Copies of this chain bind each other. A is one copy, B any other.
């Protein structure tokens, strides 16, 4: 996969690479991430792989089972709800701040993001589109100039991607782009209150598009179901 890159991979670049792969659904929930396997893929020793896996586990993107290895996380229904409740607390008011601090450059960045997402959808690159859609939210926190909140939102966005992989229901062509467009308009008008309201609705729509009924979790593989 990445074996022929001459880049000097470090634990942080490997973690970022893996996080993106997870975010884009190239590594679906439940996937086993073997240390030797990854080490070979990146051309590094297990030492660095382990550091990267540790970082991802701290972000709740993978689960480390002692003596068993690393697996792409499979958020429970409960956890999924919590993630979106946390987002509901953080993102609307952050959008409000962002609207007030909005610059022309930032607007261009956001507009470009929507553009790229559209292009990705047209090209059938759904994973990439999902990633870009997430970046839109992270970018807002960055524009609000809140590094700390940005870090939390970034984690929550990546976890949301896992949640979408597991519980996505609505087949409709993403209304996403529509919601982001509306937000963009609010930002362009520097209307903080509107941006906050739109973000709140957007998040509610997102949750509504999930199937979070408390049915027994469908395990990805039979193995996982029985091995506990």
Contacts and interface: CB of A to CB of B under 8 A. Distances in A.
Contact of A147 (B54, B82, B146, B156): B82
Interface string A10-22: 0000000000000
A44 interface: no
Interface in A44-85: 50-51, 54-55, 58-59, 79, 82-83, 85
Q: How large is the interface on A (under 10, 10 to 19, 20 to 34, 35 or more residues)?
A: 20 to 34
A226 to B, nearest CB: 25
A107 B106 CA distance: 47
Nearest to A91: B89
Taking each of A50, A90, A152, which has the highest tally of chain B beta carbons within 10 Å of its own beta carbon?
A: A152
A6 interface: no
Contacts of A90: 86, 89-90
Given A89-B89, A90-B89, A149 B58 contact: no
In the complex, the count of this chain's copies comes to 2
A148 interface: yes
A202 interface: no
Contacts of A128: none
Contact of A54 (B51, B85, B149, B152): B51
A200 interface: no
A129 to B, nearest CB: 26
A75 B196 CA distance: 29
B58 A146 contact: no
Interface of A: 50-51, 54-55, 58-59, 79, 82-83, 85-86, 89-90, 93-94, 146-149, 152, 156
Given A50-B51, A79-B148, A85-B148, 12 more contacts: A58-B58, A58-B59, A82-B148, A82-B149, A83-B148, A85-B149, A86-B90, A86-B148, A86-B152, A89-B90, A89-B94, A152-B152
**What are the 7 closest A-B residue pairs judged by CB atoms, nearest first?**
A82-B148, A58-B58, A86-B148, A86-B149, A89-B89, A89-B90, A54-B54
